[in-house]
Structure 1
Amino acid sequence: METELDTADEPGCFQWAPVKAIGNPPRQRSLHVAVVVDKCMYVFGGYDGSNRVNDFLKYNFKTTKWSQIQSGAERGPSARDRHVAVAHDKCIYIFGGYDGSNRINDFWCFDTENETWTPIESQGTTPSPRHSHSAVEYNHSMYVFAGYDGNYRSDFHEFNFAQRKWAPVQVKNQNQAPKARYRTSAVVWKDTMLVFGGHDGAKHLNDFYEYNFEERIWTQIEQGGKMGPPSPRDSHIAVIHGDSMHLFGGSTGQARNDLFEFRLDTREWHEVKPALPNTSLSPVQGRTAASTQEAIQKATPCPRFCHTGVVYNNSLYIFGGYDGQNRLNDFRQFKLVDEVNVEIPSSSLIQDLKNYINSPLFSDVTFIVEGDKRVYAHKLMCVRCSYFRAMFQGEMREARQSEPVEIKNVSHRVFLGLLEYLYTDELDISLDMAMDLFVAADQFGVERLKKLCERKILTSIDIDNAATILQAADLHTAVSLRQSCFDFILRNFDAVSKTQSFEEMGRANVELVFEILKRR
């Protein structure tokens, strides 16, 4: 009896199943990238069998919908394959690859909140143009390892997001580093980067290394367990889930669809055998061993390499790749753990806290802004800010009095926005308030809010306001914003230099004008 999959069912533990999806999925492709930000998986670029592409799509895990974000070289990176991508602070960073003619080393940032592409203008020595390299994000830096730039590489580079600067990684025991390779996997677990397999130009590899970011040393991992390591391969995927690394597929000379788990606590490999998928047949309806195996094989992704894999909500998701004959665009899910199916109401914490903003209920401090406007607040929430913490806990005069506290040089609207952030850790920052809120966040020492404002302001830089924003960024030590303003002004100097804001900047801070002229 033929077993039909019921794709309306969610897979159980250790089961493969097609992913529920509506909307138009990405076209068939391999050599693309996929990363998860919040509740979405983003897919960019790759090779469709005829051309390199630069279309950009996302899959929303909550709505189960595919949607296209944007396409076209004029709005973002050029078409490419064999590039890398990492996610950091709700942004996706794309580096390098092959455009069909040349290996490249351009660097792009996509802001998932504003859905805008920005080329990264960096300092330091950028890695050589390359493809088939690997990359991870760790502690506010992007790390790029190995690849092919005309030669197989084992070099290791760091890009610091705050400094916007590339630098070679200073490894203490370089003689213990992995040999040159490409198409290896790299993932982060705790304070280490794990590198498995790849191809060295002569043969497939299955060696396994970890790099300790804190100690700055490479160590080759002894691969224990009864089965030993997976067979040598490249173009596979690896992901971290808990204290395990899962590895799927790749090429050993032939496409593979085996799945392995490396337990990082016991340092042992185990092959993961898929369980029988949910089907329309019950276990007592005469299922034979042959029909059981057929159902498992039908649910399992076909052998492939140059695919992508991500983890979301305790499941491994596989998309696309190449089976040796055809590019693919199937989308499969493998559930890694059993989940307790209990309906949990949405959290109301943020809204509950928001209701106390400027409310006299339980208020134990009153602020006066704009001379006569009272704002009711609660010390317990205000002490998230270092300025108010010093005010209420330290020797400041306001800590010893019960009278209202006057706040100068901050508007009523901006101060309420500051409190909303302190109460809820989030704020919908409007463009017309971003600069004033940025100044207030700097005044009161709220660094994360300052960065959020900084990012919002970055999207609004234009010819007329670039000089004004540069002055504010310089005054309040906003390094990234200051650099972005300089880059914009240098690219558009002839137009910016004729604006009223540039003239006012020259009168207020002639050193900035000199710095601009020196950089030209």
Structure 2
Amino acid sequence: MEVDDVECSKSAINQWSVVKPFGGCQPPKQRSLHASIVVGDCLYIFGGYDGSSRVNDFYKFSFKASKWSQIHPAGSSPTARDRHVVVSYADKIYIFAGYDGNNRVNDFWQYDTEHEVWSTVDPALGNPPTPRHSHSGVEYDGSMYIFAGYDGNYRSDFHRYNFPQRKWSIVPVKGSVPKARYRTSAVAYKNRMLVVGGHDGAKHLNDFYQFNFDTLEWSMVETTGQVPPPSPRDSHSAVICGDSMYLFGGSTGSARNDLYAFSFETDQWTEVRTTPGATQKSNVPCPRFCHTCDVYNNSLYVFGGYDGQQRLNDFWQFKLATEVNIDIPSSSLVSDLREFLNDAKLSDVTFIVEGKPVYAHKLLCMRCSYFRAMFEGQMREAQQKTITINNVSHRVFLALLEYLYTDEFEISMDIAMDLFVAADQFGIDRLKRLCEKKILVSINIDSAATILQALLLLCCLPENLGGLNQELWFEV
């Protein structure tokens, strides 16, 4: 095959370019103080200040389709606000606190990207941070961490929200704690959170701190090299790409458009400059602050902000690595394997379940320890082409095989308990835990006693039952 037969393109690195969408709706209107986040192949933007009022419009940019769409979720949505925090966890978007034009707020919202619906987050335990704006936040290991901000005073407090436990708590920190501030940046890298700059109410800052999630200790980041750190500033953006943190723009008293990289491998700052050939003024974003910056496929994406005179809605990309664009079809592995389910073609074992044949393949069944022992050991079934399976229904056994073939199965409540029992019987621990989760999140007062008894008999994780008992107690 000739190279020309492949439709591809190769783009240069270290160059800014304006993102030009193909079709779709108009981009979000001019704004600053908004929040954005990448989930999957889309960039989501919520809220902000348009120069006259706070807004609560919600947009999505598809990187694959290169187009904007405005999202109109059914039901209630967060009120208009700016200076809020957004994080993502398990393909859901979480928004916390901000300023609605009259008051600082501390409400907590979740957006389900699959079902396109907002809902309020109601913690089971603990107290949230005080109403505030201009705070910072990151997600790390199943928890959201909220640092600093302004609640009528400049803050340096540190809070954690544990998503699985639905619990707020104050992080018991030690070490050299950063001074109170707002409009700082925070990013998570490996087991650390990095905080740069901000404003303490009197002056701009450029101090550089790290928080170790394992030791719960704050410390100053010791840097090396000849390049000085970015000048003191607030309202900048910082993101992680690879083993570097990138910091763009902000306000030093005037708007900035400089771009810095901090390498975690060398502990050095460098100022990132565009490659030769990109010298025209139009090829660099204008200075700005209160913008957003996100990472997708080794590129920075900057949207909007304030240049000191007007709000912006321009959309810029900065490539950090050479990118070869080839249209690669989506993987068909899972769908191909699903086609073999209960298909006599190439089947080398037949299970009889409730008198019905189920055609299967030993190689895939051996993902399960029960069947591996059966086919590799000295059991008589190892030599048989037809094997009878007892104590499980035909429907449940097919569901169990679908999981073994594809590593996925959409668990509904009408099958969850029977599938849980079968997964326990055949020693498929992950499927058992998936069923357990489905059962626990769907439980109610009417079904609690029966389900709890069954789960206890089958060795459900005790910590889950403890939390569940507490939730049911509050529901009563």
Normalised to the residue count of structure 1, the TM-score between the two structures is: 0.78
Structure 2 SS opposite 1:42: strand
Q: Is the 8 A contact 2:110 2:121 kept in 1?
A: yes
Q: Is the 8 A contact 2:420 2:436 kept in 1?
A: no
Q: 1:138 corresponds to which residue?
A: 140
Match for residue 392 of structure 1 among 372, 383, 390: 372
Query: How far 1:298 moved relative to its partner?
Result: 0.5
Q: 2:309 corresponds to which residue?
A: 325
Q: Is the 8 A contact 1:147 1:182 kept in 2?
A: yes
Q: 2:413 corresponds to which residue?
A: 435
Q: Percent sequence identity over matched residues?
A: 53
Q: Is the 8 A contact 2:419 2:435 kept in 1?
A: no
Aligned mates of 1:189, 1:224 — CA distance in 2:
19
Letter in 1 for 2:132: R
Gaps of 5+ in 1: 1-8, 278-291, 488-511
Q: 1:94 corresponds to which residue?
A: 95
Aligned mates of 1:472, 1:89 — CA distance in 2:
30
Q: 1:119 corresponds to which residue?
A: 120
CA deviations on 1:307-365 (whole Å, 9 max, x unpaired) are: 11110011100011111111111111010001234554443322322222223445455
Aligned mates of 2:180, 2:286 — CA distance in 1:
30
Aligned mates of 2:190, 2:116 — CA distance in 1:
30
Aligned mates of 2:290, 2:465 — CA distance in 1:
37
Find out whether 1:424 has 2:406 as its counterpart: yes
Structure 1 SS opposite 2:323: coil
Match for residue 48 of structure 2 among 40, 46, 65: 46
Query: How far 1:395 moved relative to its partner?
Result: 12
Query: How far 1:483 moved relative to its partner?
Result: 8.1
Q: 2:381 corresponds to which residue?
A: 401
Q: 1:285 corresponds to which residue?
A: none
Q: Is the 8 A contact 1:357 1:376 kept in 2?
A: yes
Q: 1:251 corresponds to which residue?
A: 251
Q: Is the 8 A contact 2:420 2:431 kept in 1?
A: no
CA deviations on 1:454-478 (whole Å, 9 max, x unpaired) are: 67997xx8xxx96556667755569
Letter in 2 for 1:84: V
Q: Is the 8 A contact 1:55 1:71 kept in 2?
A: no
Q: Is the 8 A contact 1:180 1:200 kept in 2?
A: yes
Q: Is the 8 A contact 1:454 1:481 kept in 2?
A: no
CA deviations on 1:86-136 (whole Å, 9 max, x unpaired) are: 111110111111111111111111110111112111011211111111111
Aligned mates of 2:448, 2:342 — CA distance in 1:
33
Aligned mates of 1:131, 1:217 — CA distance in 2:
25
**Structure 1 stretch displaced more, 257-266 or 391-400:** 391-400
**Structure 1 stretch displaced more, 449-458 or 249-258:** 449-458
Q: 1:156 corresponds to which residue?
A: 158
Query: How far 1:439 moved relative to its partner?
Result: 2.4
Residues 121 and 399 (structure 1 numbering): CA distance in 2 closer, same or farther, change over 3 Å? Answer: farther
Aligned mates of 1:324, 1:407 — CA distance in 2:
74
Cα RMSD (Å): 3.2
Query: How far 1:41 moved relative to its partner?
Result: 0.7
Q: 2:186 corresponds to which residue?
A: 186
Q: 2:223 corresponds to which residue?
A: 223
CA deviations on 1:390-436 (whole Å, 9 max, x unpaired) are: 45338999966345252535452x54344333322344x3xxx6113
CA deviations on 1:167-212 (whole Å, 9 max, x unpaired) are: 11222x24x1211111111111111111111111111111111111
Query: How far 1:18 moved relative to its partner?
Result: 1.0
Residues 400 and 162 (structure 1 numbering): CA distance in 2 closer, same or farther, change over 3 Å? Answer: farther
Q: Is the 8 A contact 1:163 1:480 kept in 2?
A: no
Aligned mates of 2:246, 2:323 — CA distance in 1:
19
Structure 2 SS opposite 1:233: coil
Query: How far 1:27 moved relative to its partner?
Result: 1.3
Residues 190 and 121 (structure 1 numbering): CA distance in 2 closer, same or farther, change over 3 Å? Answer: same
Q: Is the 8 A contact 1:381 1:423 kept in 2?
A: yes
Gaps of 5+ in 2: 1-8
Letter in 1 for 2:242: G
Residues 59 and 202 (structure 1 numbering): CA distance in 2 closer, same or farther, change over 3 Å? Answer: same
Q: 1:31 corresponds to which residue?
A: 33
Q: Is the 8 A contact 1:153 1:182 kept in 2?
A: yes
Residues 91 and 341 (structure 1 numbering): CA distance in 2 closer, same or farther, change over 3 Å? Answer: closer
Aligned mates of 1:257, 1:10 — CA distance in 2:
26
Normalised to the residue count of structure 2, the TM-score between the two structures is: 0.85
Letter in 2 for 1:63: A
Q: Is the 8 A contact 2:105 2:131 kept in 1?
A: yes
Q: Is the 8 A contact 1:392 1:399 kept in 2?
A: no
Residues 447 and 310 (structure 1 numbering): CA distance in 2 closer, same or farther, change over 3 Å? Answer: same
Q: Is the 8 A contact 1:435 1:453 kept in 2?
A: no
Q: Is the 8 A contact 2:417 2:435 kept in 1?
A: no
Q: Is the 8 A contact 1:194 1:211 kept in 2?
A: yes
Matches within 5 A, 1:290-301: 293=279, 295=280, 297-301=281-285
Query: How far 1:54 moved relative to its partner?
Result: 1.0
Residues 92 and 390 (structure 1 numbering): CA distance in 2 closer, same or farther, change over 3 Å? Answer: same
Letter in 2 for 1:419: L
Structure 1 SS opposite 2:402: helix
Residues 325 and 480 (structure 1 numbering): CA distance in 2 closer, same or farther, change over 3 Å? Answer: farther
Aligned mates of 1:372, 1:88 — CA distance in 2:
45
Q: Is the 8 A contact 2:420 2:435 kept in 1?
A: no
Aligned mates of 2:152, 2:468 — CA distance in 1:
33
Q: Is the 8 A contact 2:14 2:275 kept in 1?
A: yes
Aligned mates of 2:404, 2:466 — CA distance in 1:
25
CA deviations on 1:53-105 (whole Å, 9 max, x unpaired) are: 11111011111111111269x51211111111111111011111111111111
